[in-house]
Homo-oligomer: A and B are copies of this chain.
Amino acid sequence: MATDFDLSCPVPLAAHERIVLPHGGGGRLTRELLDKVFVPAFANPALDARHDSALLEAGGARLAFTTDAYVVHPRRFPGGDIGTLAVCGTVNDLAMAGARPLALSAAFVLEEGLAMDELRAVVASMRDAARACGVPLVAGDTKVVDRGKADGMFVTTSGVGIVPPGADVRPARVAPGDVALLSGDVGRHGIAVLSVRDGLAFDSPVESDCAPLAEPVAALLAGGVEVHCLRDATRGGVATVLNEMARDAGVAIEAEEATIPVSGGVAAACEILGLDPLYVACEGRMVAFVAAADAARALDILRGHEVSRGAAIIGAVAEPGAGGACGTVALRTRLGTRRLLDLLSGEQLPRIC
């Protein structure tokens, strides 16, 4: 329906004199904040590459370096807690650059009054997740703010990884003909958090997909798959990731809705809540763009790992002139129609990670 005022067109950043929740949602306003505030100030090749990790050279080694703040609410959800999330999220950002995680750091902002037992439990989750990934946590910091000046606990993890020789995984490598694989069913993290946040009881309880992706990534690279780019489908879900890739690589992406795995529990919850599962956050799912010739082998390798057992081929990068404009994602729906899969202005679910 045409309207005089297009609700899908957000107010430009200049009109936002104050920070609003969608600035942190991973959608259009997050991108605008990045484009208009952060990138102009800090412009440099590593940042401009708009990768999940920055790539650095150090004494002959190729390093990946990344950081993420975690403010998930509530802090514990089916399948994990803020600690699991903080470790897996940073390990995954390193993996998305093709890197093997070398070391993590963690900085805590704690609110006065936080139960010591809860801190201990989160630290135990971080320890377990880090052990499972085989990566040490080597540096940390703790600050405490007065009661009412934070929300219990915020955790920021950073990570350093080593990119193996031969790997060259970055948005600029995505090319026409590349096949897009998704490593498993989408939306479980977002629905898991929402279920505890709002006290919803679904027929089939949904567990977060929060998990490290470093192993399947290492296997793809070790298996000689020509991996062009990887991105984990966190804030904004798989739809947002596909959009980011289309824009950052300057290509048109075609995806097939019927091939994107969605569990029954997530589908049911999304229907009740009026959410589109393609925009719901995951924390253990990635999209991989690989050379077409390697797609079948890549799928086999992913399916050989527990965390990516449900992998599927979900689309491809269009050839130039095939119809889609550069920077866009077209979705062939289950009904056989074709629609633009756009970036959301904000987020469907605030504080999901």
Contact = CB atoms under 8 A, between A and B. Distances in A.
Interface of A: 13, 16-25, 30, 33-34, 37-38, 41-42, 44, 46-47, 53-54, 56, 58-63, 65-71, 73, 102-103, 105-117, 119-120, 123-124, 126-127, 130, 136-146, 148-151, 154, 156, 158, 160, 162, 350-351, 353
For the residues of A in contact with B, the DSSP-based class is mixed
Q: Which of A17, A23, A116 has the most CB of B within 10 A?
A: A116
Contacts of A124: 41
A18 B147 CA distance: 11
Given A18-B114, A24-B143, A116-B19, A47 B150 contact: no
Q: Which of A23, A69, A141 has the most CB of B within 10 A?
A: A141
Contacts of A142: 23-24, 30, 33-34, 38, 69
A2 to B, nearest CB: 32
| 4 closest residue pairs by CB, A with B | A59-B61, A24-B144, A54-B138, A158-B158
A138 B47 CA distance: 5
A105 B55 CA distance: 12
14 contacts: A16-B116, A19-B114, A19-B144, A22-B144, A30-B142, A38-B123, A54-B138, A56-B102, A59-B61, A60-B61, A65-B158, A109-B109, A145-B151, A145-B154
Given A19-B112, A23-B110, A65 B139 contact: yes
B150 A148 contact: no
Contacts of A150: 149-151, 154
B151 A69 contact: no
A159 to B, nearest CB: 9
Given A47-B138, A53-B139, 12 more contacts: A18-B114, A19-B113, A24-B110, A24-B144, A38-B140, A58-B162, A67-B105, A67-B107, A141-B156, A146-B350, A149-B150, A156-B158
A44 to B, nearest CB: 4
B109 A37 contact: no
A100 to B, nearest CB: 10
